[in-house]
Structure 1
């Protein structure tokens, strides 16, 4: 009894320590790669695509089932006083007796027939082959679509991750701007009370302080929006908590290669484009299967069973039937022709969808490349602008301390510095997001 109480105490203590450790550790912190891995594991879209692969595998199994014999067991019961049918049932039951039997009035006869029947398709115009090839291509298409979904998710997580970092940096910049304006406003109020500064200069700083706080509220809201988007991509509930590891400093992307080089890479490896081409092949196989319905079909069958007036099985009453049946549709109400027409239209749709996918990939590659070039050029310009704005603010501050310039000029210099920093942050992370978009466009991620 004491041992049980001791074990319970130890267990509760361990659970409490684990809870305290979890509480102290705080929310999970993700680097970009950790966020991508988590999303690939928990995002429902990936699970949906995995289920579709399983569906395609099942469809392939159904198509291959036609290559195996089909075996079924059955039990039939029949009652008749029709002389012809009753006489046939009596013969099948091995009960024919010429002595004392009234063939015109045999009375009601019961017949039970348990049997096992096996059928095997000998020829169906190649329909089974075409459908099995279409099913195999369906599995390959589902795998390619899953790869495309994974790449799309990786690109979205990367973009949302960088958007979150950009929003955080912009928020920190807005907080620094508020601190700087508040400090200057306090000093200006002291100088105004001392009679060395005009009231208009203090009011100008109060307006600047309000604008800085408004920008801070917008930046904080942008952080929350980016975080909510990232939660959705990670497959996390809205009320869950996590943090972004900002220590993982991203490396600025390089200047992209030429459009033609990138397009060749996309054509060779983009999974969505390959999936569209596979769907064309599937439609071709389905058209072949529809046309095969014009050809005759041949099936072999064998049946083993026994006939009796009750359910008692007797080896002296068993019988075997075997044969081959060949049939062809002479007229099916134009169903075969309509199926062929439907398959032809589906092939046209698949070909046009593949052409559309090719055009979309071309546009994605070109657009992503242009955006990356623009962002890289902007980043060079904005980084230079930040350095110039910092130096201008330093000089204006010295001039203002010396009483050479007004507070209005100082405010203008500080606003210009803050705007330059904001544009630089935007340009840096726009380049990273454009690089992620370009990688997705050429099918780079696996």
Structure 2
């Protein structure tokens, strides 16, 4: 599929963060607003609409074969050939039997303006099959645009949630820095008082440096996530598009059974519908190629006049009408090769449709499993966060009482941060998997 290769959202962005901007500017945007912006601005949808318009133009071109064709022409001939010159003189109504030398007529000029109309009476059904194929081409282009739209919305959702995850993870990193800084300040006071070892102070300084390093990496990552989102939205690098981090993001519901989801996908997935339309188009093209064996019949009528100059006179006009039937006896095997070509295109379209269905089934199963896995991890991570928070609280109390070392404090701090990171990743993995499931079932069609 043309439309299936563009946009790959780097899911690693879900793991890194950047500071939330505090400066004044545009109001934050919700996910729905981000989707509307992408649908209005993303150039890929404009390309797909142009392809729909192109398919409509091809349909109009196919329909033109059902209308009469009218042409105007002007021809000029000069000849001293007796037979041809004699015929031109007769057509010009200038034949005279006195003083004429039919064997040596001399040079004769003939101007012929004329209007010709032709109409195809029968072409073996090729015009009809061509019209059918063109109509299917329009439908295929529309389904391809729907598939591109689904892919775009899925990528916007993933990028949006990626930035939200980065913001939440950033808050954790800032909290970790503040906690370590506070503990370091207290440890320095205790060290000066002689109640804390120098190694404890140094360990906290190392921990603070690691936290600050993580924050620096997070700051760059959030800029990358924002840049990716703006690209999907069709916005320039200098334009601002803050997202709404205050709105709560609840976990999605447990997905339906695979059979139910597959039934939905097979009934409405635009990529599958487009593949089936391409098969139908290929079938019509096979019939078009086979129709070349049948005879063709055309009717025509022409009106014009012959004269030795461009002066028009109704006394010299004439009308010619007729019907011509022709059939190809031998075309150098071109007809047979065209049929073979069309049949191979049909085979390729059938295999492509089968491949599309298998790919959709795999995407559907993968998205379902990802969602189930993320929901389970989110549940476990929630329990782990509560335990890690309580453990850190107890260690802080013990640390203030001087019964645990700074190493134990650092371990508890790191465990708390890891628990929160796992919870954030699980929650946004679930939201992203829900978006993938929507795309796999054609929900956004």
Specify the alignment match of 1:18 in structure 2: none
Query: How far apart are the structure 2 equivalents of 1:99 and 1:276?
Result: 77
Contact 1:28 1:241 in 2 (8 A): no
Shift of 1:440: 0.2
Specify the alignment match of 2:196 in structure 1: 197
**Corresponding residue SS for 1:280:** helix
Query: How far apart are the structure 2 equivalents of 1:299 and 1:373?
Result: 66
Query: How far apart are the structure 1 equivalents of 2:184 and 2:37?
Result: 46
Specify the alignment match of 1:424 in structure 2: 423
State TM-score, norm by structure 2: 0.94
- List aligned pairs for 1:12-411, cutoff 5 A: 26-27=25-26, 29-411=28-410
Contact 1:71 1:119 in 2 (8 A): yes
Shift of 1:249: 2.2
Query: How far apart are the structure 2 equivalents of 1:25 and 1:187?
Result: 36
**Corresponding residue SS for 2:235:** coil
State TM-score, norm by structure 1: 0.94
Query: How far apart are the structure 2 equivalents of 1:233 and 1:66?
Result: 42
**Corresponding residue SS for 1:73:** strand
Shift of 1:28: 5.6
Contact 2:167 2:245 in 1 (8 A): no
Query: How far apart are the structure 1 equivalents of 2:113 and 2:257?
Result: 75
Shift of 1:183: 1.2
Query: How far apart are the structure 2 equivalents of 1:204 and 1:67?
Result: 86
Query: How far apart are the structure 2 equivalents of 1:135 and 1:303?
Result: 31
The Cα offsets for residues 14-70 of structure 1, whole Å up to 9 and x where unpaired, read as: xxxxxxxxxx96246321001000001110110000000000000100111000000
Query: How far apart are the structure 1 equivalents of 2:125 and 2:389?
Result: 77
Query: How far apart are the structure 1 equivalents of 2:106 and 2:167?
Result: 95
Query: How far apart are the structure 1 equivalents of 2:83 and 2:138?
Result: 55
Contact 1:283 1:343 in 2 (8 A): yes
Query: How far apart are the structure 2 equivalents of 1:29 and 1:234?
Result: 15
Contact 1:372 1:435 in 2 (8 A): yes
User: What stretches of structure 1 of length at least 5 have no aligned partner?
Assistant: 1-23
Shift of 1:330: 0.7
Query: How far apart are the structure 1 equivalents of 2:287 and 2:323?
Result: 25
Query: How far apart are the structure 1 equivalents of 2:115 and 2:167?
Result: 73
Query: How far apart are the structure 2 equivalents of 1:227 and 1:164?
Result: 7
Specify the alignment match of 2:17 in structure 1: none
The Cα offsets for residues 342-371 of structure 1, whole Å up to 9 and x where unpaired, read as: 000000000000000000010000000000
Query: How far apart are the structure 2 equivalents of 1:140 and 1:250?
Result: 37
Q: Does 1:439 align with 2:443?
A: no
Shift of 1:225: 1.6
Q: After the TM superposition, which segments of 4 or more aligned residues of structure 1 sit over 4 Å from their partners?
A: none
Contact 2:150 2:442 in 1 (8 A): yes
The Cα offsets for residues 208-265 of structure 1, whole Å up to 9 and x where unpaired, read as: 1011111112222221121111011001112222211112322210000111110111
**Corresponding residue SS for 2:75:** strand
Structure 1 stretch displaced more, 209-218 or 391-400: 209-218
